[in-house]
A and B are shown apart, each in its own frame.
Chain A
Amino acid sequence: MSGLMRYRVRHQTTYRYGGDVAHSHQLLHLTPRDSAVQTCRSRSITLTPEPSIRREDVDAFGNFVTRLEFDLPHDHLDVLAEVAVEVCVPAHAAAEDSIPWEEVRDSLAYSGRPMREVQLDACRFRMESSYVRIKQVFSDYAADCFPPGCPLLQGAASLMHKIHRDFGYAPGSTNISTSALDAFTARRGVCQDFAHIMLACLRARGLAARYVSGYLRTAAPGADAALLGADASHAWVSVFCPPFGWIDLDPTNDVRVATDHIVIAWGRDFGDVSPLRGVIIGGGRHRLSVRVSVQAE
């Protein structure tokens, strides 16, 4: 396996409205951000109809956002995002070399002393958010993954295994507004729910972890089956893991992220990075279809 993967991604979203939409505002997270392991070579978003206003911006977490306003009546909306991305293998990080989880937890808690930027950044991802309310059940569930003195990455990896083992991948069993707690109770869900559950467990333990939205290559070379979640946008978790920094784990597929995943955006939970969200006025019932294709070059 080479150290560098090149991908072309087409992400097509289509709304068909029952009647005319008189006016609408939309917010898109469809443009991949760059990172230490990822470079976006080309990016484009094609819209039909043309919006009356289009603004490219960067949100509070450093993600690219596109804001749209449509002020003429329209009965459909097509959004086509096409990107070319290079992903390289992350630096080696041996789980047993990561810092014990309690030390990391304590280093992020308030001490009255100044914090380094990297720590303060991690603090943004260790509290409750609207999808990820922190409850005792999550702390209890994760307890045996984090015995005293356990290196953080080891604990996080065993939590990932446990979630992958205990929860069923069941498309259609949840929806985009399902909370971590509801999915936890139902014991099943899709990648979004797996990620939310893992975030809730990590944060319940006082650790910092963020929700990552992105894509997954359709089939790993030489693998028999495609990875789960490859036909749509995907989601996984990134955990703050000193001394290595942020390490991405995919609980839906029970893998440490290497070069099969393409990052679009990250935030506290799905609500911060949903690919498309908006408000329409009028329009009646609507039909939505989403198609994603990820091709390795």
Chain B
Amino acid sequence: MTDARLETYLSDTRRYDELVDSSGGIREHWQPLMDALASNGAGAVRRGAELARRLIVENGVTYNVYADSQGRDRPWVLDPLPILLTAAEWREIELGVAQRASLFDALLADIYGSQRLLADGTIPAELPFGHPNFLWPCHGITPAGGRRLHVYAVDIARSADGRWWALADRTQTPSGPGYALENRQIVSRVFPDLLGDLGVRSLGGFFVALRDNLLRHGLDTDSDLAVVLTPGSFNETYFEHAYLARQLGLPLVEGHDLTVRGDTVYLKTLGGLRRVHAILRRLDDDFCDPVELRADSALGVPGLLSAVRAGRVVIANSLGSGVLESAAWMGFIPAAAQRILGEKLRLPSVATWWCGERLALDYVLENLERLVLKPAYPNQNFPAVFGRDLDTAARAELARRIRARPHAYVAQERLAFSQAPVWRSGAAEGFAARALGIRVYAIATASGYRVMPGGLARIAAEAAGIVSMQRGGGSKDVWVLTPDRKSIDEVNVAGSVPRAATRHDDLPSRLAENLFWLGRYSERCEDKARLLRATLDVRPNAQLWPLVRATCGNFVAASLFDEASPLSLSADIQRLGWCAAQARSRLSAENWRAISVLQREFHDAAKARRDARETLDALLLSLAGLAGYALDDMTQDDGWRLMMIGRRLERLKFLADLLSQRLETGEASMQSELEWLLDIGDSTITYRTRYLAAPALGSTIDVLVFDQTNPRALAFQWHAIEYSLVRVAASLGGAPDDTLDEAVAQVEEMQLSAIEGDSSRAMRARQALAEQLRGLCAAAGKLSDRLCLKHFTLIDAEIRTVAA
């Protein structure tokens, strides 16, 4: 090997090597990649790795690990070097994976139907009946379209002799296809020419097929609706749920966005209830319906099972499909393949012994030290353990446990996974060898299972380590090569999926509500930050300070960083972050990232007790960025309109409140105070443009209240709100809300000429204006309540389970 980067790549004779053959040469199908990397110069891979890391952060790709005490999202780890598979090799894998998918679909049909395979001894009754995901309420249901397994995944790895083995099957809600697509999109930017040059198969068609499959079971009209059901933003793979929903062009919903009425599932949208025909779920089996399944599930959809039973909704995968997720099945799959398909199993499982069988039990007990012991059922309090890691006493204890309940234990052979090159940065920069496993996906289509030409490769964190996302380690893109390095139909880069035309009235009410509050909190943060910053400057002014105190009351008293105080800016930034998280599927990656950065920076500043002025400057800059995203970076549908109404309404309320508090004291104003007000209202420049003189009260009020060209003035807000309300009403039906009208009309009638000066008449005029502004502030509050009532009431009150 001449390549310097390979000096750090150590061979291991116990493993198959993906890159290097037994004589030490680069395998033929890797050569073009290695040549290309070499010709790009020594730093190419290093730069690629850096770019990949940056793109992951920019795109907000995360993997939320429960184990993290901070509960924070961890950035996804992607090694830029792909793993390469030849067309011939892939063909075998593809056939094997599709066959397993067909087999598992048939197995589900049997155990949720006639249970013939249990009666004839092909499958032990202990396997389904002891499994917590075998859901008796689903027995006897024939799903619409007949298919139970719509998305299937299998973890495969290669043994020393070069053969591929199935290690684990995923039949419930296989995670990862979204990460696989995201990996591809990032790697295609890191090595833009390589995918095309090498003839790498595209992933795009797979996702189109997934969506088509979901919608295939509907009424075949334009109004067919499929949704992605997520347990919510605390789930470890929430990023992927949102990402998949976006790629598929489907609404991302939570359980309470759906309702079942008359055996039909509906999505609660801004435009009312919309029938749902198919659900791609990422919610576990028994959480899906608290009426018939786990009663303590707050995440599910009450009555969902009755809609399934009536054949009025397709659920991918069907409820109870998780029953096949156990290593215990593996030993029985070959016989089932013969029995059901009349075929030999093409992709074998790693050697497995289910201890419920007498002979298997004896073998396992004799060979504990060379096997991996696993629970047969996922609800057992027993993590997988390597027999060789146990001392004599622990091994004896394990043997006792197994003998007490043999059917609850499975043993598997330890497989030495193949190794592949990863890029290691730092002092010992270069290629390093890591164990590799690949998750491969298949989806049901009208003509059988279709396998994603690629997958999610996972690598161990350390040289001799275990392949696991939870334990660290990283991921890789999988490049399936075309035979002649040419495109057949779908070669090339990141498949971008043509979006389905998502209708505007698909917008879930809950999402709209969160957008509305995102608007309000963004603006509230800005208002408070502005107020605090302007007021910092005023404090030394002994004359002005008491007046300011009287005007702002609690606002200034509330500490900047005090998270415990509900009035503090800290608290509002938290609320802003929460609303953004709930509305994340509607925010661009950049927008989401800006919000994350804003939160983190403010949090860090608070922790370090950084200079208040500097912190507020930085925060206001970030908030101005959010305002920019709101205007230029979002689809301008009704959800967006409600968000903008939220922003306007908050600004209107804040400024009307501030001015009315000031004016009702009746006192005459000082020039420095007017400057202070203009600063808070961000209207200093506007004022200077219009009036060359130093500020006077009348002209200040004119700029802050009546100036329709000043985007900070009250008049600008109420006109903008009115315009948006008309648009929303036109789209959703009904008359535009007129709650503000009367209060606005009264403010508009006010004369400013009389308010200047020390006379008692002027004082009364100021107080009268204060009164009208208070009325406007109250009307804004009322409008907010009415909008919530009108558009968000489909969001249910508390849901509870009862039993007697």
Contact = CB atoms under 8 A, between A and B. Distances in A.
A290 interface: yes
Contacts of B800: 279-281, 283
Contacts of A69: 260-262, 303, 306
A282 B797 contact: yes
Contacts of A55: 306
A61 interface: yes
Chain A at the B interface: SS class: mixed
B804 A27 contact: no
A282 B302 CA distance: 13
Nearest to B115: A120
Contact of A278 (B130, B132, B802): B802
Interface stretch (A41-49, A95-103, A104-112, A236-244): A104-112
Contacts of B126: 109-110, 123, 127
B153 to A, nearest CB: 27
Ordered nearest first, which 4 A-B pairs have the shortest CB separation? A110-B124, A127-B130, A279-B302, A60-B139
6 contacts: A59-B137, A71-B261, A71-B262, A114-B121, A128-B132, A283-B800
Indicate the member of A23, A59, A272, A282 with the most B CB atoms within 10 Å.
A23
Nearest to B112: A60
Contacts of A288: 802, 804
Contacts of B120: 114
Contact of B119 (A111, A120, A274): A120
Nearest to B796: A281
B722 interface: no
Interface string A205-222: 000000000000000000
Given A110-B357, A120-B119, A128-B130, A272 B302 contact: no
Contact of B803 (A71, A110, A117, A274): A274
A76 interface: no
Given A53-B263, A115-B119, A115-B121, A275 B797 contact: no
Contacts of A127: 126, 129-130
A152 B260 CA distance: 47
B403 to A, nearest CB: 11
Given A53-B263, A60-B139, A278-B801, A22 B796 contact: yes
A180 to B, nearest CB: 15
B301 to A, nearest CB: 10
A-side interface size class: 35 or more
Nearest to A277: B803
A123 B126 CA distance: 8
B87 to A, nearest CB: 40
A158 interface: no
Contacts of B124: 110
Interface string B129-171: 1101000110110000000000000000000000000000000
Interface stretch (B288-296, B597-605, B780-788): B288-296
B125 A278 contact: no
B125 A281 contact: no
B68 interface: no
Nearest to A115: B119
Given A110-B357, A123-B129, A276 B804 contact: yes
Interface of B: 115, 118-121, 124-126, 129-130, 132, 136-137, 139-140, 259-263, 290-292, 294-295, 302-303, 306, 356-357, 377, 379, 404-405, 407, 796-804
Interface of A: 13, 15, 22-23, 25-27, 52-53, 55, 59-61, 67, 69, 71, 109-115, 117, 120, 123-124, 126-128, 130, 134, 136, 139, 176, 267-268, 271-272, 274-283, 286, 288, 290
A224 B802 CA distance: 36
A60 B305 CA distance: 14
A272 B136 contact: yes
B260 A25 contact: yes
Indicate the member of A268, A275, A282 with the most B CB atoms within 10 Å.
A282
B798 A110 contact: no
Nearest to A120: B119
Indicate the member of B121, B137, B800, B801 with the most A CB atoms within 10 Å.
B800
Given A52-B262, A71-B261, A123-B125, 17 more contacts: A23-B796, A25-B303, A26-B291, A27-B292, A59-B136, A60-B136, A60-B139, A110-B124, A110-B126, A114-B120, A115-B125, A123-B118, A276-B803, A279-B799, A280-B802, A282-B797, A288-B802
A290 B405 CA distance: 40
A136 B139 CA distance: 30
Given A110-B357, A130-B132, A136-B404, A277 B801 contact: yes
Contact of B802 (A15, A268, A272): A15
A115 B261 contact: no
Contacts of B115: 120
A281 B291 contact: no
B118 A120 contact: yes
B700 to A, nearest CB: 49
A112 to B, nearest CB: 5
A268 B259 CA distance: 29
Nearest to A125: B129
Nearest to B400: A136
B539 to A, nearest CB: 48
Given A25-B291, A139-B404, A279-B800, A112 B121 contact: yes
Contacts of A61: 136
Contacts of A26: 291
B795 to A, nearest CB: 11
A280 B290 CA distance: 10
Contacts of A274: 803-804
A23 B259 contact: yes
B303 A286 contact: no
Given A25-B260, A60-B137, A123-B129, A279 B119 contact: no
B306 A67 contact: yes
Given A23-B259, A110-B124, A281 B798 contact: yes
A181 to B, nearest CB: 12
A281 B259 CA distance: 11
A118 B125 CA distance: 13
A121 to B, nearest CB: 10
B32 to A, nearest CB: 51
B803 A53 contact: no
Contacts of A275: 804
Contacts of B799: 279-281
A22 B263 contact: no
B796 A282 contact: yes
B302 A53 contact: no
A22 B800 CA distance: 12
Nearest to B803: A277
A72 B803 CA distance: 20
Contacts of A282: 796-798
A120 B261 contact: no
Indicate the member of B140, B262, B291 with the most A CB atoms within 10 Å.
B291
B361 to A, nearest CB: 11
Given A25-B260, A110-B124, A120-B125, A278 B797 contact: no
Contacts of A283: 800
A71 B273 CA distance: 14
Contacts of A126: 129
Contacts of B263: 53
Nearest to B259: A23
Contacts of A279: 290-291, 302-303, 799-802
B291 A117 contact: no
B797 A277 contact: no
Contacts of A111: 121
B140 to A, nearest CB: 6
A290 B262 contact: no
Contacts of A128: 130, 132, 377, 379
Indicate the member of B259, B262, B797 with the most A CB atoms within 10 Å.
B797
Contacts of A290: 804
A52 B701 CA distance: 58
Contacts of A52: 262
A279 B296 CA distance: 10
Contacts of B118: 115, 120, 123
